[in-house]
Structure 1
Amino acid sequence: MKIAFIHPDLGIGGAERLIVDAAVGLQEEGHKVKIFTSHCDKTHCFEEISKDEVKVQVYGDFLPTSFCGRFKIVFASLRQLFLLMMLVINGEISEYDFFIVDQLSFCLPLLHMFHDSRARIMFYCHFPDQKLARHDSLLRKLYRLPFDLYEQFSMSAADAVVVNSNFTKSVYDDTFSFLKDVKPPGTIYPCVDLTEPEFNQEVKTLHKNVMGDDKFVLSVNRFEVKKNVELAIESYAKFAMGTEQKGVKLVIAGGYDNLVEENKTYLVHLEKLVEQSGLKFYTLFQKTYSELVEEPVDVEYDVLFLPSVPSNYKDYLLSKAELLLYTPSLEHFGIVPLEAMKLGTPVLAVNNGGPTETVVPLDKSPELGTGWLEPSDSDVWSKRIGESLSLNKAKVSQNGMERVKSKFSRKVMTQEIEKTMLRLFKSRYQRYSWENLMMLWKLPVFFILRKYYELPALYVWILGAITFLPPSFFQLIAIFAVTCVYYAEPHWFEFFD
């Protein structure tokens, strides 16, 4: 089966990781897959994309993404519209049996109108876009209003909607009051790659020179305010001040872009918070890693910041940490706890959002537990940090690895997508009433062509008949062919005049 993904920007975020995993998984099952996107930088993407393991086609990268940093949703919609029009014009839209669209639903009604009737569409909702946008002023509310209304309408054009967690499903139901009954979403969890990472000597030497033999707890998040990394620092500070146990550090690693102002200001804020807590910090940027492979760090610190940590070193940290501190509240899903569990590390996460579906609390299920779920309270978290140091890690590690393998592997996710595909292909093709209403715009156009441009009636009638056929590339060819014949032999069309 030929499957097309439509994704706005194929970078290195969590949504992109899911799309790449889904594409690779479907390819492994024998499907032909291609990702269509408005942007893909082969130097800033996942390995499967840079090595061309998955086919990628970019349309519309020349279009701007914003105007003076504003109107991002407007330009994102225009870029997706251009991408879809390119698929229609060059006929690729008729080649595919199944479309998977995610993040931005703007193109769904047009995709439904123009794709072949045998094809089906699935929309993967990571989180409602209107819940991610700011509505903190009257002007912003007015600006967002048409996009918020259109989001619900456009998602109704998909044959199926799926979400990444039951938490997101509850937000979806609250946000889209009309859709929750008309188009109830399914849940397909993101996955992690079960391939065991290989750590070269350079990574091991770097870690030895930076950390020595000290134990450490780990926080992995992008350097963004919403990730609430303050909770990790405050919890560690209370643990460090309240224990005589030495040689336990806090490592804060994650995504960081020097061009993103929030990343820079948030890192400075966290560094100041460490100092205010009476602790010492050391910040190590990736460009200095090569120097530390040769010589150990000659700096005393309690908290280590690793902005823009490479994925292989991140995995090594996850495999060696005593505990992962996953601090965001109301996280849509949260892939990092799964990455930690896959590598045998227990997880401490906030007791809401996606982690409640991935982490099994030890206090509720000692035999199957993979960590703890606690309120966002630094006093409670500091106690859990202390408990993690005396934990039977072998049992918790086994539980974590087994849970990831049984519920969150690439194979499981691929099977869930294929089940959705099979269900949709068993159902009849649905043509919506609004599609028929949209055809009415053609009537005044043909009237104008006939009355004011004095085009022959037969020519106008033929054009009208062609445009009322199911939209496809062949429809465009037919219009072009009839127009060429009209200009070559106009007297053929004078029969009814």
Structure 2
Amino acid sequence: MARREESPRLRIGIIHPDLGIGGAERLIVDAAVELASHGHAVHVFTAHHDKNRCFEETIAGPFQVTVYGSFLPRHIFHRFHAVCAYIRCIFVAFCVLFLWPCFDVIIADQVSAVIPLLKLKRSTKIVFYCHFPDLLLAQRSNLLRRLYRKPIDMIEETTTGMSDLILVNSSFTASTFANTFRRLHSRGVLPEILYPSVDVEQFDGPHSYELNFLSINRFERKKNIELAISAFAMLRSFEQSGPSGYGFSQLTLTIAGGFDMRLPENVEYLEELKRLAETEGVSSQVRFITSCPTMERNALLSQCICVIYTPKDEHFGIVPLEAMAAQKPVIACDSGGPTETVKHGVTGFLCSPTPREFSEAMLKLASDPAMAARMGEAAHRHVSQAFSTKVFGERLNRYICDVYDRKLR
């Protein structure tokens, strides 16, 4: 791939826990592709890479992928996920440290525990990408869980502060970082903001605004997908007739997203959502699609009337960007990352996370597809200007070159 601007050709390593198909993985893949496009030699290391459930670029992209430690468990009797993730990533870091030549820069993603090991090679600069403090995502429902998390939380803050540069995915995460890692904040350790991006060009092509609402999310309870089902069912009470109206029977809801049979929560939550659709009386109008490939996801985006994004206090959220790049308005919660990406009333609607507010926003678009088209066009312009992969790549390249320059001074 051609270099976009003059910059030193660096050897860049990236360590990521699991190259699946989530938002964190999308960011890492985009980072690898963009850094390679700037002329850098990029090598991604991971503990798991299922070629049947991954982004296409990890198989045939402009960077190498090497797997270490896939034999290590992800959990122990469905417990100790954090400890297992640390062990797997530390094993990857050991392999990188002893089996590969020095990298100029290594990007550590999600798991900061690898940073002290990587710092043993003093010639290498370490960049840590923090999607969100892990200690805020962990459950502490009882004393044993709190005792279990205490040392992990301490390790997270200490090791995060050892990196040469910290990047976060939104202003919301930057604020949460400061409030969570108070010792680092008091020392003047401040993260830089690097928004994730979306490849706008992949959504070029014909677009239609069929009366289908689309939800794209991993099948995890924190994604609050039941909100989409309940809001959709509530549209029945708003049913209209006449030239500008619609019949509820015309409407459909498609729920698509990452699904991993290895994860009990994915399996259980999918069944819970199906039962909810039956209870709400809309099961015949709700379709579930698990782990659809990129081409199928893009086809779904090209045909829906809008995208329903239901997580509350989401750190960033790549789905709203993908939706807007596909010229579709977004209905999202008025908290977290979507407040930085969705322009209320222009590229979509920001709502309180209640079925009624979501349903009222859905009603506006179902009743007026022309409005959806206008918002979709505005959304496409907005994403192209602020969140394209080109903009992301240029910003990331500057951060990487700047941190490398510190090594030379």
TM-score by length of 1: 0.74
Secondary structure of the residue aligned to 2:42 is strand
Q: 1:39 to 1:275 in 2, by over 3 A?
A: closer
- Partner residue of 2:365? 388
Distance apart, 1:355 and its partner CA:
0.5
- Partner residue of 1:100? 107
- The answer as to 2:388 corresponding to 1:409 is yes
Distance apart, 1:353 and its partner CA:
0.8
Secondary structure of the residue aligned to 2:328 is coil
Code of the aligned partner of 2:357: V
- Partner residue of 1:188? 194
- Partner residue of 1:165? 170
- The answer as to 2:138 corresponding to 1:133 is yes
Distance apart, 1:320 and its partner CA:
1.4
CA contact (8 A) 2:204 2:326 kept: no
- Partner residue of 2:281? 278
Between 153-162 and 314-323, the greater mean CA deviation after superposition: 314-323
Alignment of 1:13-92 (within 5 A): 13-92=22-101
The one-character-per-residue Cα deviations of 1:398-445 (angstroms, maximum 9, x if unpaired) are 211111111111111111112222332343689xxxxxxxxxxxxxxx
Gaps of 5+ in 2: 1-9, 241-245
Q: 1:44 to 1:275 in 2, by over 3 A?
A: closer
CA contact (8 A) 1:348 1:372 kept: yes
Distance apart, 1:385 and its partner CA:
1.2
Correspondent of 2:235 among 235, 239, 243: 239
Counting aligned pairs with the same residue, the percent is: 41
Query: 1: CA distance between counterparts of 2:100 and 2:223?
Result: 43
Secondary structure of the residue aligned to 1:219 is strand
Query: 1: CA distance between counterparts of 2:343 and 2:204?
Result: 27
Correspondent of 1:269 among 252, 267, 272: 272
Higher relative contact order (CA 8 A, sep 6+): 2
Secondary structure of the residue aligned to 1:63 is coil
CA contact (8 A) 1:162 1:186 kept: yes
Distance apart, 1:33 and its partner CA:
0.6
Secondary structure of the residue aligned to 1:77 is helix
RMSD: 2.3
Gaps of 5+ in 1: 208-212, 282-300, 363-368, 431-497
Distance apart, 1:356 and its partner CA:
0.4
The one-character-per-residue Cα deviations of 1:287-317 (angstroms, maximum 9, x if unpaired) are xxxxxxxxxxxxxx32222233332222112
Q: 1:30 to 1:384 in 2, by over 3 A?
A: same
- The answer as to 2:115 corresponding to 1:115 is no
The one-character-per-residue Cα deviations of 1:193-216 (angstroms, maximum 9, x if unpaired) are 12234889xxx9xx9xxxxx9621
Q: 1:303 to 1:69 in 2, by over 3 A?
A: closer
Distance apart, 1:326 and its partner CA:
0.8
CA contact (8 A) 1:219 1:251 kept: yes
Q: 1:160 to 1:271 in 2, by over 3 A?
A: same
TM-score by length of 2: 0.89
- Partner residue of 1:423? 402
The total of aligned residue pairs comes to: 390
CA contact (8 A) 2:203 2:326 kept: no
Between 65-74 and 413-422, the greater mean CA deviation after superposition: 65-74
